[in-house]
Structure formats: C-alpha cells, structure tokens
C-alpha cells in the first residue's frame, strides 16, 4: 500500500524532473486523483488535463487481473511475498513484447 500511495507523487516528480524545474507542489487531499495529479504536474485549474488524467487512470489502473502485470502481482502476492517484491514483479511483467514493451516505450 505504501508503494501504491506514492505512485501519484512519483509520476509528478518524474514529470517535473524531465520537463520542469524539479519543484513540485504538495498533494491536495481535497482534490480527486486526476485533479491533484494535474495540479502537481503544474496544470492548475485546467479541466481538460484533469479529465484526461482521470480517464488515463481508469484505463491503466482497472485491469482487474486480466493483464500480465496485474496477474503477476496477484500471483507473487499469493505466495505471501513482500508487497515491494509483488510490485517489482508486476513492473517486470510489463517488459514483454505481448504487453507492448511498456517499460521500454516509457524509457
């Protein structure tokens, strides 16, 4: 849960390090996930970006175990492995060519 809770901040920090000055506003617990991520990335009060990030989040987070990374995470977790190991296994599952080489494309 610790890793999952930090995903939004990690994504915004990577964006700031690549495209901005590295300084990033803190998370606002009063905003929903998409609006808060947009604000943390520097898109303040931009409803189009907020909607885009909401849609992106739903599409990419709601796999319900049907893809390689979600299935791998659940499989490794079923062995009572540490959550960090489960998360690492899931990310490594993204590297296969049938998953679109997601890791390589992001890099």
Residue pLDDT, tens place only, 25-79:
889 989 998 899 999 998 988 999 999 988 888 777 666 656 788 888 889 999 9
Domain span at 31: 2-61
Same domain, 15 and 55: yes
How many independent structural domains does the chain possess?
2
Same domain, 74 and 95: yes
Same domain, 15 and 45: yes
Same domain, 26 and 43: yes
Check whether 105 has a pLDDT greater than 70.
no
Same domain, 15 and 56: yes
Q: What is the pLDDT of residue 80?
A: 94
Cβ pair 8, 90 in contact under 8 A: no
Same domain, 56 and 81: no
SS (H, E, C) the chain: CHHHHHHHHHHHHHHHHHHCCCCCCCCCCCCCHHHHHHHHHCCCCCHHHHHHHHHHHHHHHCCCCCCHHHHHHHHHHCCCCCHHHHHHHHHHHCCCHHHCCHHHHHC
Same domain, 13 and 54: yes
Q: What is the pLDDT of residue 78?
A: 94
Long-range contacts of 81-89 (CB under 8 A, 24+ apart): 83/1, 83/2, 83/3, 84/3, 87/3, 87/4
Same domain, 39 and 76: no
């Amino acid at each position: 849960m610790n890793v999952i809770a930090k995903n939004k901040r990690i994504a915004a920090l990577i964006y700031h390090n690549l495209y901005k000055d590295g300084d990033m506003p803190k998370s606002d617990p009063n905003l929903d996930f998409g609006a808060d991520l947009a604000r943390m990335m520097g898109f303040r009060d931009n409803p189009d970006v907020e909607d885009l990030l909401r849609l992106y989040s739903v599409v990419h987070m709601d796999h319900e175990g049907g893809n390689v990374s979600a299935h791998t995470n659940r499989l490794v977790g079923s062995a009572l492995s540490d959550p960090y190991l489960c998360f690492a296994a899931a990310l490594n599952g993204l590297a296969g060519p049938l998953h679109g080489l997601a890791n390589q494309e992001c890099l």
